[in-house]
Amino acid sequence: MKLAQRTIFFVLLPIIFFSIIMIVFNHTVLSELLIEQEIEEVTLLAQLASYEMTNPMYNLDIDKLNEIIDGLELQEDVLQVLVLYPDGRVLTDGTDEDYNYGNILHDEFLNTPNIIDEKQIMITDNLIRFSIPIILNEPIGIIAIDYSLESVNYEIMNAAKITLLIGASLISLFVVVGIYFSRSITKPIFEIGKSVENISKGKHKPRQDKIGIPEIQKLNEGIDEMYEKLSFFQNELTKTERLATIGELSARIAHDLRNPLTTIQNSIDLIKIKNPDLVKNNTEYFDYIESSVNKINLEINGVLNHTKVKPLEKSTTSFLKIIKQSLSSLNIPENIKIKIPEKETEIFCDEKQLENVFSNLIGNSIEAIGGKQGEINISMDDKNDFYIIVVSDNGPGIPPEFVESIFEPLFTTKQYGTGLGLVNCKNIVHAHDGTIEVQNNPTRFTIKLPKK
């Protein structure tokens, strides 16, 4: 059985059950109430007639008795009235002929043993039979009335029909409402099922409109959120797999490049020792060679740092020492001024890895400023449980469309470079349980490191 059918079934079952109970209850209560009213009415008629018949009965005035009987039989639903002697013989039946005069009728009700002493009531499907003694100091006769219940039964049937009609209308209404609500529940659940199926196929599109049922809406939002996270982790996994392949190849190439670069650097050092005049006369060229070797070494270090995850070796060290060692590894042009903090601060970190971070950030600032007059500011603030380190420059800034991508692996705006420098910075800072953020115009990198 489908959910919609189950919903309708479980909605209708109690309604039908309740309707049946109400029909039976109404029929029973209404029947009892109406019959009780009819009994009260026939009792009142009989009591009045008994009082009125006292003298005629005592005097055996048949005509007067018949007159009273005729008046009673004019009442609606009164079928027959008999007046009996105390021994049960018929005195008059209200007709002129009085065919039953003096006879004892073979009637179970009229032959009730206590009929002369107290009132008697017999109720059948269509009739109330009522008798009451006629008393003048003592019982002198009996009046018996047959009272029809056809009008009562008619009212009961009409009430039953109305109750059935109302019950049928309610059931029809609840069927419509049940179908509506079952569809309002099952349709979004079916759509969520389709969404889950589409997620498995990679074709999911988040639902734009809201579902009217809060619980299902929350479920749908959870699925959308799950899809976003799944897509994110899937992309990250793809990047990781791609970078792992590229990293392995890059590490091999970088390692192979290290040997000839070392040879070039050693050769320059030997020339400087053995032929100082040659170096003096060609200083510009030798500086250019050394600068190029340093740049290539920096790129190789960036690749190796990215492919080789090193565990942190934390110790308490001077922040100024880290900055100065970072600056010593860079060729700083004369057109650029670098401001560093004057106050000494001890921080708990991996000294070598943070040197790589600041070498990278400062090197990027130098390249961004280029040949123009520029300034690089490095500041350190101590706030609560964190160190806030800012590296900023007055260069042209980062193109706005690239700001969100600069920490992505292999992303670079340079004509050369691996696109791994800022990725390595981010990884090292995160390894220290810190954060790194960038603001633009002017370019400003903010690093937040915990003190412990």
Residue 157 CA to residue 29 CA, distance in Å, equals 13
Query: Given 119, 154, 189, which residue is the final one in a domain?
Result: 154
Beta pairing class for 374-383 and 386-393: antiparallel
Of the listed ranges 12-16, 93-97, 200-204, 353-357, the least confidently predicted one is 200-204
- Amino acid 186: pLDDT: 66
CATH number of the domain that 92 lies in?
A: 3.30.450.20
Of the listed ranges 1-10, 307-316, 429-438, the least confidently predicted one is 1-10
Q: Is residue 221 part of a domain?
A: no
- Of the CA atoms within 13 Å of residue 379, those in its CB half-sphere come to 12
Task: Report the SS3 class of residue 25.
Answer: helix
Please, what is the average pLDDT of the chain?
A: 80
212 pLDDT higher than 90? no
Cβ 360 vs Cβ 349: under 8 Å? no
- Amino acid 118: pLDDT: 86
Residue 363 CA to residue 358 CA, distance in Å, equals 8
Spell out the residues 6+ positions from residue 154 whose beta carbon is closer than 8 angstroms to its own. none
- Amino acid 388: pLDDT: 93
Instruction: Kindly report whether the global pTM for this prediction surpasses the value 0.75.
Output: no
User: Tens digits of per-residue pLDDT, 385-395?
Assistant: 899 999 999 98
Token pair recorded at residue 142: 């009996």
Residue 270 CA to residue 260 CA, distance in Å, equals 15
State whether the Cα torsion 82-83-86-91 is positive or negative: negative
The DSSP bridge partners found for residue 123 are 128
Q: Is residue 436 part of a domain?
A: yes
User: Tens digits of per-residue pLDDT, 128-161?
Assistant: 999 999 998 889 999 999 999 888 888 888 887 8
Q: Is residue 250 part of a domain?
A: no
Of 95, 102, 149, the C-alpha closest to 122 is: 149
Q: Is residue 300 part of a domain?
A: no
User: Tens digits of per-residue pLDDT, 254-282?
Assistant: 666 667 777 877 877 787 787 777 767 77
User: Tens digits of per-residue pLDDT, 305-338?
Assistant: 655 557 888 899 999 999 999 888 888 888 999 9
Q: Is residue 369 part of a domain?
A: yes
Query: Given 154, 188, 209, which residue is the final one in a domain?
Result: 154
Q: Is residue 275 part of a domain?
A: no
Beta pairing class for 127-136 and 315-318: unpaired
Spell out the residues 6+ positions from residue 105 whose beta carbon is closer than 8 angstroms to its own. 90, 111
User: Tens digits of per-residue pLDDT, 376-418?
Assistant: 999 999 888 899 999 999 988 888 888 887 877 766 666 555 6
State whether the Cα torsion 125-113-107-74 is positive or negative: negative
CATH number of the domain that 393 lies in?
A: 3.30.565.10
For residue 355, the enclosing domain spans: 309-450
Query: Given 119, 135, 154, which residue is the final one in a domain?
Result: 154
Q: Is residue 304 part of a domain?
A: no
As for how many domains the chain has, the answer is 2
Of 440, 343, 422, the C-alpha closest to 387 is: 343
Q: Is residue 185 part of a domain?
A: no
The DSSP bridge partners found for residue 315 are 349
- Amino acid 377: pLDDT: 93
Of 40, 57, 39, the C-alpha closest to 122 is: 39
